[in-house]
Amino acid sequence: MTVIVCNEPTSAREVQCQRTRCYLPFPIADGQTAICPWCSDHETYERLAPDHFARGIVEGAMQMCRSEFGVDDDGVGTAVWIGDGPETVLESRLNRCNIYLGRKSNPLQIMYSGSHEAFHRVCSPCVGSHWADEMFAVLFSLLYLERAGQGDHADLNRLGLVAQAEACSIEAMFAVNGGSCPDGLYGRVYILGQSLIDCIGWDRLKMLAVTKSADGRMDLAAWLLSLLSHPGFDGDRFCRFPTFSWWV
């Protein structure tokens, strides 16, 4: 999730073209589709109406995410768009997040990417990608698919994630902090997340997603401290976790 400032001299700035980062210069209501005037192939941005299935998926996943991680509604609005590809962008002056989905995605892909963006909408600070945010977004999207009765599709995605992980080294994964996502990152964070679940369990791991420092970022140190000081927690085993030294 990123905050992007665009200085287009337009009065209506509902949504950005995801390629040029310029705002589409006209108001766009629920259910309307706008044609991008900035790109030569004039791609479209559809603002989804409340009864659109993809909006229902994103809103349902946001609800599940709030309940799973114990996060209150922040009072910021959410608009869901069919655009160039999955992304969540905070538009501060509108007090709204725009969640984009890909116009080439089929319904199962919408469930996977829409729930990934729902995690970012509910739990990620707006400071660019961080490996831990991406890890939770990937794990939450798989959990969402399982709970929505799409376990086969979750398994298919797990296979793809494991296959793509080779493209991203552990060093490259832990270097992701506020920038963009390197190839294979989702696979690498999935493998890390799954082995953390095996080591300490999902309930302990997911507390990290909501342990925040004053700037809204995940606070690894505070989470580790609370974990290691918890009576009955097998700290020795966790400290032998292969990448533990990267965390501290």
Burial class (CB in 10 A: 0-12, 13-18, 19+), 62: buried
In the list 38, 69, 238, 246, the residue contacting Zn ion (rule: CB under 5 A) is 38
Structural Rg of the chain based on CA atoms: 19
Q: Which of the stretches 7-15, 19-27, 44-52, 164-172 binds Zn ion when contact is defined by CB under 5 A?
A: 19-27
- Type of residue at 201: G
Show the CA angle centred on residue 213, arms to residues 209 and 218, nearest 5°: 25
Decide whether 19 or 96 has the Cβ nearer to Zn ion.
19
Smallest separation (angstroms) from Zn ion to the CB of 12: 16
Smallest separation (angstroms) from Zn ion to the CB of 2: 11
Residue 189 as a binder of Zn ion (CB under 5 A): the answer is: no
Decide whether 174 or 238 has the Cβ nearer to Zn ion.
174
Cα separation, 70 vs 53, whole angstroms: 25
- Type of residue at 103: R
Smallest separation (angstroms) from Zn ion to the CB of 68: 16
Give the C-alpha distances (Å, rounded to integers) separating 29 from 12, 25, 45, 46, 55.
11, 13, 11, 9, 14
In the list 28, 39, 172, 197, the residue contacting Zn ion (rule: CB under 5 A) is 39
Residue 118 as a binder of Zn ion (CB under 5 A): the answer is: no
Decide whether 122 or 137 has the Cβ nearer to Zn ion.
137
In the list 17, 34, 58, 111, the residue contacting Zn ion (rule: CB under 5 A) is 17
Between the two ends of the chain, the Cα-to-Cα distance in Å is: 24
The answer to whether the beta carbons of residues 52 and 79 sit under 8 Å apart is: no
The residue ranges that bind Zn ion (CB under 5 A) are 17, 19, 36, 38-39, 134, 137
